[in-house]
Amino acid sequence: MTTTLTPRRSRPPAQPASLRARRLPGYAAPALAALALLVAAGIVYGVDLGGPVLVVVLGAVLYLAGLFVAANAVEGRRSARNRFWSALIHSALVLAVLPLASVVWTLVSKGTARLDGDFFGSSMNNIGARDANGGAYHAIVGTLEQVGIATAITVPLGVLCAIYIVEYGRGRFAFTIRFFVDVMTGIPSIVTGLFVLAFWVLIVSPWFNDGQPGFSGFAAALALSVLMLPTVVRSTEEMLRLVPAPLREGAYALGVPKWKTILRVVLPTALPGIVTGIMLSIARAAGETAPVLLVAGGGAAINFNPFENNQSSLALFVYQQAGEASKYSPARAWTAALTLVVLVLVLTVAAKLLARRNRLGR
């Protein structure tokens, strides 16, 4: 007599406790955020403590506290901690973006008042306090010429200096160069303006101006190049150090000279980061006011010659218009500020696209 053994059906494995744990519904976080903002608005505006910025900050604090309490009650302390720190990171991101968004909104809302042909096609020459016309054409020309000359001076010098520090520099001399570059990073802009004023305007320029010192856009470019140089050197140095050593070693193994390896392998690899550092230095130089005021003098007329006579810039134009006792000056100042930001943004995007195209082409 044979007996047939039927296999027992195995029970499905027990579901882990973590999968059966209770969780907050998906709408809980947005609902808590909205409730926190309402409570914060009621507190701030009810007691008259401040404006919308304080409402957002207080709302973020209440949201974090409420989310931790709700998650702790429903999901447990471990999950509550995870939710709290995640929400804290996202809240910090929002609080960091808010000032930038506020600046952009203010620039766009107030800077479009004078976006017309007269603003971009005329200067402030013979424009009085009661005249609604006048523009920043002379300041735009000055900014492009001064920043262009400063870039032409700074970029080759800064890149070559960084190449020497990374590829050739050894010992005390390289350490000394790096030390002075770090010191130059913290020099105030007005100090560079005073240096160029004392050296170029008062000593060198009389040789070319019949013994008389004179302001010029080139002097402003020299001051801006002093400000740009440490940024270009440090950013280029860091980008060159990030290039993998096997790329250099592979080129050396093929018999490529060191200078050609740097030119054909190292620099193209680090080019996007180098371009970013250069554009950061250009953005800083374009927004400087004190050096231009000290060594270029500013001016209301159009001057295409950067080596003679006074010359203005957009940053200096904004400073002068903001201090003018005229009801038309604030609109000019805001439009000039918007123009400066857009100009730097266009140059940055163009440089990034050019660097990317060159890298893909290689």
Tell me the C-alpha distance between 227 and 44, whole Å.
43
Interval 263-287: pLDDT, tens: 999 999 898 889 989 998 999 899 9
Position 99 scores a pLDDT of 84
Give how far Cα 52 sits from Cα of 27, 38, 212, 320, 361, Å: 24, 12, 56, 31, 49
Q: Is the pLDDT of residue 334 over 90?
A: yes
Mean pLDDT, the chain, integer: 86
Position 312 scores a pLDDT of 92
Cβ atoms within 10 Å of 250's Cβ, excluding its own: 13
Assign 77 a pLDDT band (cuts: 50, 70, 90).
confident
Position 126 scores a pLDDT of 85
Position 13 scores a pLDDT of 57
Interval 216-251: pLDDT, tens: 999 999 999 999 999 999 999 999 999 998 988 899
The total number of residues shown for the chain amounts to 362
Position 357 scores a pLDDT of 63
pTM of structure: 0.80
Say if residue 70 is exposed, middle or buried (CB neighbours under 10 Å; 0-12, 13-18, 19+). Answer: middle
Interval 170-208: pLDDT, tens: 888 888 988 999 888 888 999 999 999 999 999 998 898
Interval 9-18: pLDDT, tens: 555 555 554 4
Q: Which two tokens stand for residue 135?
A: 């523009």
Position 164 scores a pLDDT of 93
Position 232 scores a pLDDT of 94
Q: Is the pLDDT of residue 94 over 80?
A: yes
- Residue spans of the domains in the chain: they are 23-111, 119-357
Average pLDDT over residues 332-350: 90
Q: Is the pLDDT of residue 53 over 90?
A: no
119-357: CATH, from 1.10.490.10, 1.20.120.530, 1.10.3720.10, 3.60.110.10 = 1.10.3720.10
Position 324 scores a pLDDT of 85
Tell me the C-alpha distance between 123 and 301, whole Å.
6
